[in-house]
């Protein structure tokens, strides 16, 4: 599998002769932690109070560091000025998935919230003759022992509603959409025989007497066929919730945030080294911060080579990834950042788009808007359509 596809590799399921996962009480998510020291999400270096001129939105770069990996920047994203963000890197040394990049981004005015959901690797097989099967949800060589799913609605109920999506218990299902472009792309990234499906499920529920809506997006992939073992996994899992009507009204802003969230090549290279160490069976050292730091120091040369490979693969695939996001996320268009010639995706229903050297963006509905004419905004260059 290409390195660029690993962290995002998704998974999809097929129903075989195995019992449905809904027959079991399985809760596979380790307890999530509140971001702590060294993990607090911070605005990018150039971020500051966003001056507004006319009807404009300023997007600022945010990042979260990982204290387990020498406090390097683990992930970044763009969010409108005035929004709130929190996040941390959760290391799960006992599971082969290894990490969850916990992220929540909220508009404090409207309550619109984007939240990424934990994912997992799974395995299913018939127990050997005379041996008891592992418990459903138990850890089998770093993978959860659970049969592959058949019903996406039931999967959300079984996997996420006991935890982060508990507020959706009893919610009304408005519609279930399949997203074949995501499924096809991640079968391609997986690089072997597999079947995949991707979904977006819209729920409607009441919160404090007000009607709310929530879109839950995710994918699953099954890479083992009959006879077992069957290997499957989940990924691309996030939810977006807001008062009824606001999800569609703010589709471009939401899509801009979702498309901008990414791991950094330096952190991803370290993750790939840790993945290899996990495969070598040294989980106990991975659970200790000091021991993990020493292991990563010993593999620094390998990590640097992987970092370069990750960077080159991202540059080579940016057009394809941008096309995929344009097909699957609503209300965004591709623009070129003149500072580094990379693709950035911004809300499509605005007239002018600007960027500065700090990676901040301003979008305006005024065709003649120029932030360079506002002294406190500094120096900006205009983005052009890709």
CA distances from 23 to 26, 71, 134, 148, 155 (A): 9, 42, 15, 12, 11
In a domain, 92, yes or no: yes
Q: What is the pLDDT of residues 37-55, one digit of tens each?
A: 345 455 654 333 333 445 8
What is the spatial distance between Cα 216 and Cα 136, in angstroms, rounded to a whole number?
24
What is the spatial distance between Cα 80 and Cα 122, in angstroms, rounded to a whole number?
36
In a domain, 336, yes or no: no
pLDDT score for 133 = 80
Is the pTM above the cut of 0.95?
A: no
Q: What is the pLDDT of residues 93-112, one digit of tens each?
A: 888 898 999 999 999 999 99
In percent, how much of the chain has pLDDT > 70? 82
Res. 11: pLDDT tops 50: no
In a domain, 217, yes or no: yes
Q: What is the rounded average pLDDT for all residues in the chain? A: 83
CA distances from 356 to 29, 64, 261, 340, 382 (A): 40, 21, 19, 11, 9
pLDDT score for 186 = 81
In a domain, 256, yes or no: yes
pLDDT score for 330 = 95
pLDDT score for 284 = 59
In a domain, 32, yes or no: no
In a domain, 275, yes or no: no
Pair of tokens at residue 118: 């934990």
Supply the range of the domain harboring residue 127.
3-22+76-261
Which neighbouring-strand residues pair with 29?
none
The domain tally of the chain equals 1
In a domain, 274, yes or no: no
362: closest CA among 80, 84, 83, 114? 80
In a domain, 352, yes or no: no
């Amino acid at each position: 599998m290409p390195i660029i596809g690993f962290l995002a590799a998704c998974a999809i399921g097929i129903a075989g002769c195995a019992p449905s996962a809904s027959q079991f009480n399985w809760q596979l998510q380790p307890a999530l932690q509140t971001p702590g020291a060294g993990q607090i999400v911070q605005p990018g270096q150039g971020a500051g109070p966003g001056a507004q001129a006319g009807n404009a939105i300023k997007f600022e770069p945010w990042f979260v560091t990982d204290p387990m990996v020498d406090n390097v920047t683990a992930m970044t994203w763009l969010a409108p000025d005035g929004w709130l963000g929190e996040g941390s890197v959760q290391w799960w040394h006992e599971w082969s998935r290894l990490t969850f990049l916990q992220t929540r981004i909220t508009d404090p005015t409207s309550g619109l919230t984007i939240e990424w959901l934990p994912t997992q690797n799974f395995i299913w097989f018939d127990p050997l003759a005379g041996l008891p099967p592992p418990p459903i949800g138990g850890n089998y060589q770093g993978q959860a022992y659970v049969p592959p799913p058949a019903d996406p609605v039931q999967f959300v109920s079984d996997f996420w509603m006991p935890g982060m999506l508990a507020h959706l218990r009893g919610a009304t299902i408005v519609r279930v959409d399949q997203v074949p472009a995501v499924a096809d792309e991640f079968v391609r990234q997986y690089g072997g025989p597999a079947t995949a499906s991707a979904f977006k499920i819209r729920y409607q529920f009441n919160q404090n007497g007000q009607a709310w809506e929530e879109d839950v997006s995710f994918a699953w992939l099954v890479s083992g066929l009959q006879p077992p073992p069957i290997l499957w996994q989940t990924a691309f899992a996030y939810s977006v919730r807001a008062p009824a009507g606001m999800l569609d009204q703010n589709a471009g802003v939401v899509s801009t945030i979702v498309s901008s969230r990414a791991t950094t090549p330096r952190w991803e290279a370290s993750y790939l080294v840790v993945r290899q160490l996990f495969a070598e069976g040294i989980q106990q050292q991975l659970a200790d911060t000091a021991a993990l730091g020493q292991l990563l120091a010993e593999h620094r040369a390998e990590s640097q080579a992987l970092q370069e490979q990750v960077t080159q693969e991202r540059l080579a695939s940016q057009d394809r990834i941008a096309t995929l996001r344009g097909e699957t996320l609503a209300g965004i268009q591709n623009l070129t950042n003149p500072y580094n010639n990379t693709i950035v995706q911004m809300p499509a229903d605005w007239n002018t788009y600007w960027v500065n050297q700090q990676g901040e963006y301003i979008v305006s509905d005024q065709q003649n808007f120029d932030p360079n004419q506002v002294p406190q905004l500094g120096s900006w260059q205009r983005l052009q359509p890709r």
